[in-house]
Amino acid sequence: MADRLEITSDLIEYVCQHGTRETVPLEKLRRYTQSLPEAEMRVPQEQGQLLHFLIKTLNAKKVMELGVFTGYSTLWMASALPEDGRLIAIDKRKDWKDLAESHWEEAGVRSRIDFRVGRAERTMQDLLAAGEEGTYDLVFIDADKKSYTTYYELALRLLRTGGIMVFDNMLRLGDVIDPAVSDPAVDDIRLLNRRLNEDDRVIISMLPFSDGLTLVLKTT
Ligand SMILES: C[S@@+](CC[C@H](N)C(=O)[O-])C[C@H]1O[C@@H](n2cnc3c(N)ncnc32)[C@H](O)[C@@H]1O
């Protein structure tokens, strides 16, 4: 097997210092989020940079995020959008909305973000019913893992051809390759990983980055 780099925390620190441009509002929100008991839900800094990069690469104007939490990944994405860009950010918890919006306001991107409080599946169905099929450039999926397969089919409909879906937590901290782990949430991700690899409607790239990111390009 070709040599592969072992990723240490020192290397990640180096990547964050040399490979990301975290702005002052992003850093402030990251540090604030770090003080919360749910802090581990936030995407890491280098993943925020990748989402930002993808949005710029696609010239994206319409983006969706499932799972907002304090809005750190949202802020990375919204700051890559043009002034008239729109990010539909969906989370079932209203308390995250109030918290996230104050940080987005401070960062000057609040007007680009449309926070929808509610279940992701229902909200996606509502958007489809409202005629938004095939109109999104990028969908970032980071809500409840058990619904990922449902989100996949709905996001595939919402994306335009050439649009990209990004799934977080696709390696489940390594549990996907541990036969001793038979947690239904992990089994669902294993199934989805197999399915994505076999689905000829898409081209994928699975990255052993962060907790496993899969990029899905809609080709049909
Ligand atoms: C991992 S966190 C998102 C982290 C966020 N992307 C970030 O980087 O800070 C998952 C979020 O999904 C939300 N969530 C869980 N199940 C959901 C559902 N069925 N519909 C909408 N949101 C959901 C939770 O409230 C939580 O805020």
Nearest-atom number in ligand 1 for the CA of 70 is 9
DSSP string, 48-59: HHHHHHHHHHTT
The pLDDT score that the predictor gives to residue 45 is: 97
163 C-alpha to ligand 1 centroid (Å):
22
DSSP 88: E
User: pLDDT value at position 2?
Assistant: 75
Task: Answer for the pair 79, 52: CB distance below 8 angstroms, yes or no.
Answer: yes
Mean pLDDT, residues 80-86:
98
Q: What is the pLDDT of residues 116-130, one digit of tens each?
A: 999 999 999 999 999
Residue 53 has pLDDT above 80, yes or no: yes
Pocket of ligand 1 (CB under 6 A): 41-43, 67-70, 72-73, 90-93, 96, 119-120, 142-144, 147
Question: What pLDDT does 1 receive?
Answer: 65
How is residue 32 annotated by DSSP?
A: H
93 CA: nearest ligand 1 atom: 25
Atom 27 (ligand 1) nearest CA: 69
Ligand 1 centroid – CA 147 distance (Å) = 12
For residue 3, what pLDDT is reported?
86
Tell me the pLDDT tens digit for each residue of 175-206.
Answer: 999 999 989 989 999 999 999 999 999 999 99
Rg (CA), the chain: 17
pLDDT at 72: 98
3-state helix, strand, coil in the chain (%, to 5): 50, 20, 30
pLDDT for the residue 43: 97
The Å distance, Cα 1 to ligand 1 centre, comes to 37
Pairing of strands 159-167, 202-207: unpaired
Q: Which domains does the chain have, with CATH numbers?
A: 9-218 (3.40.50.150)
pTM for this model (two decimals): 0.97
Ligand 1 atom 24, closest CA: 67
The pair of three-digit structure tokens given for residue 220, joined into one six-digit string = 């049909």
**Could you tell me the distance, in angstroms and rounded to a whole number, from the CA of residue 46 to the centre of ligand 1?**
19
Share of residues in the chain with pLDDT > 90 (%):
94
CA-closest residue to ligand 1 atom 16:
144
The share of the chain scoring above pLDDT 70, in percent, equals 100
The DSSP H or E segment spanning 116 is: strand 113-117
Q: Are 52 and 80 a contacting pair, CB within 8 Å? A: yes
Q: Where are the beta strands (DSSP E) in 135-219?
A: 136-141, 159-167, 202-207, 213-218
More confident residue, 122 or 210: 122
